[in-house]
A and B are shown apart, each in its own frame.
Chain A
Amino acid sequence: MSIGSNSIASRPPLSESSRIARLGLIALVLGAVVVAFAFTGGLLRPEALTPSKMIDAFERANGQHPGFRRNHAKGVGVSGYFQSNGQGTALSKASVFRAGRYPIIGRLALAGGKPSAADAPSSVRSMALLIKLPNGEEWRTGMNDIPVFGVSTPQAFYEQLLANAPDPKTGKPDPAKLSAFFSRFPSAAKASQLIRSQPKAPSFDSDTFNSLNSFRFTNDAGAVQAVRWSMVPSKAPSKTPSAAPTGPNYLFDALIAAVHLQPIEWHLNIVLAEPGDPLDDATVPWPDDRPRVDVGTLRIDHVESEDTSSARDINFDPLVLPEGIGPSADPLLSARSAAYSESFTRREGEHKTPSAVSTTSGVQ
């Protein structure tokens, strides 16, 4: 088939069969474009694990709580600054490591998708930070107080959510489903043991928060260093066993009281990988003797209920990174970015109900 001539008259009319064949071919081309688009968008792949399916699983496991984050639903907003000591510039050219003071907005929260879950000594806690840097750059990070992440892939995460979902009959997760999950994902079983064996800090302000995922630092000379990081509290962790819960918000109440008394601080420690350390598997800890560089101090001097804090409407996407910090090959990172975005989009459009934690309840 030629493209056609400028002279229409020179063209003999198409026979009926040729016309039908050509129309069929055109329909085929258009159909192929539509199918390719639908396939790319996941419409023809019901088995594909999409961000939307991941967030649906959270909603099934935790129930519907409009306006709240689908995970780490219960929390408070905090603010203060990060005082960089300049030690990080040898590792990364990111502006955050140049000596100076950078404002932060953050959020301290409980892991899990229930916005009115009761605080418990065993609650997994998180610290999310947005560090405002010069020229519009930002560093956002979400850290947890566990030594490793529970799973190494998005698929395992999804299946864990399904296995953990309460059985409608008992209201509790089905132990058979959980054991099937752990035998299917042995690295998750190991991680779960490690997480349970670590003693929990008694309070937010004595807790250590870890990046869990690995990242890549690039310095001015172009040298690349794989890292993880930890926020280590200035306050020595109490040796006494956790205080018994005095109420459903006792961890948050203690945090609010502590910040009202005086600013609370953490040190940002960058942990340097050595050759052979796993960079793409957040369930595997790095050996304890890895070098650590203290690059500065996080100081939180203000705490605020989510009802008024701007932290409520921040997506603490761990891949909002300044130049000089980049993602590792860990598959959880892109998945966190995608799933957080989906959760953010859903909750931003929903009616907001008050947070279970109000900052005035802490002042007693």
Chain B
Amino acid sequence: MPSESTRPRTQFAMLSRILHWLMAAMLLSMLFIGAAMVSSLSAYHRLLAIHRPLGIAILVLAVARALNRLFTPLPPFPETMSSLERRLASVSEKLLYTLMFALPLVGWSMLSAGGYPIVMCGAFHLPPILAPSPLLYAALREAHTVLAYALFVTFLGHLSAILFHTFIVRDGILRRMLWRR
């Protein structure tokens, strides 16, 4: 049996797979925590206390993931993907990376412009990255919502494509991101 290094790559690198699933869980949790913050009076404070440090953790991991993406070879697209599908996959990948950076950065900027302390955990705080500004706060708060919806829609597109390929085309596309062969 050929070793991992000589066999042509059919799966994403181990680190890529770990980052993918870890961040998938974190991003999906953040979307639901954010939605619950808008709708709940009683859970708001506890959710906010998770939302801030989790968002910053996503930002840190997004940097690691972008570097990993730049320097790690990818497995080729499966032959079952049409050229249109390949283009869509590339565009949606860029969109997901952009949103992984934009959402936490907009959140951090928004709290800064709103004059809030950026509480992480206990007495540990991040510095503000913008001067207080009411109108900028209001605009960034709105942007945070719009970008979150954009992330949710992009995630739905990504999930649809994977489900379609896995259960209709049955080309084993999901294996590229799993541990089983």
Residues on A lying within 8 angstroms of B by beta carbon are 1, 3-6, 8, 11, 14, 19, 22-23, 25-26, 29-30, 33-34, 36-37, 40-42, 45, 48-52, 54, 95, 135-138, 154, 310, 313-315, 319-320, 322-323, 327, 331, 333-335, 337-339, 341, 344-345, 348-349
**Which 4 residue pairs of A and B lie closest in terms of their CB atoms, listed nearest first?**
A42-B39, A349-B138, A338-B44, A41-B35
Residues of A within 8 A of B126 (CB): 136
Pair B156/A30 contact, Cβ less than 8 Å:
yes
Contact pattern, B 138-181, Cβ under 8 Å of A = 1, otherwise 0: 11011000000000100010011001101111111111001010
Pair B170/A335 contact, Cβ less than 8 Å:
no
Extra contacts besides A4-B173, A11-B170, A135-B125 (12): CB < 8 Å: A30-B163, A41-B36, A42-B38, A42-B40, A50-B40, A136-B117, A137-B117, A138-B117, A319-B45, A323-B122, A331-B42, A341-B44
Contact pattern, B 16-58, Cβ under 8 Å of A = 1, otherwise 0: 0000000000000001100111111111111010000000000
Pair A334/B42 contact, Cβ less than 8 Å:
yes
Residues of A within 8 A of B134 (CB): 313, 348-349
Give the distance to chain B from A164, nearest Cβ to Cβ, in Å.
19
Q: How far is the CA of A157 from the CA of B126 in the complex (A)?
A: 35
Pair B38/A51 contact, Cβ less than 8 Å:
yes
Give the distance to chain A from B126, nearest Cβ to Cβ, in Å.
8
Q: How far is the CA of A110 from the CA of B7 in the complex (A)?
A: 74
Chain A, residue nearest B37 (CB): A338
Residues of B within 8 A of A338 (CB): 37, 40-41, 44-45
Pair A349/B41 contact, Cβ less than 8 Å:
no
Q: How far is the CA of A335 from the CA of B134 in the complex (A)?
A: 23
Pair B38/A50 contact, Cβ less than 8 Å:
yes
Residues of B within 8 A of A320 (CB): 116-117, 119
Residues on B lying within 8 angstroms of A by beta carbon are 10, 31-32, 35-46, 48, 79-80, 114-119, 122-123, 125-127, 132, 134-135, 137-139, 141-142, 152, 156, 159-160, 163-164, 166-175, 178, 180
Q: Is the interface of A mostly helix, strand, loop or mixed?
A: helix
Chain B, residue nearest A331 (CB): B42
Pair B122/A335 contact, Cβ less than 8 Å:
no
Q: How far is the CA of A19 from the CA of B167 in the complex (A)?
A: 9
Pair A4/B172 contact, Cβ less than 8 Å:
yes
Q: A45-B39, A338-B41 are known contacts. Are A349 and B167 too (CB-CB below 8 A)?
A: no
Q: Which of B43, B139, B170 contacts A4 (CB 8 A)?
A: B170
Residues of A within 8 A of B168 (CB): 14, 19, 22-23, 26
Q: Which of B46, B48, B127, B135 contacts A348 (CB 8 A)?
A: B135
Give the distance to chain A from B37, nearest Cβ to Cβ, in Å.
8
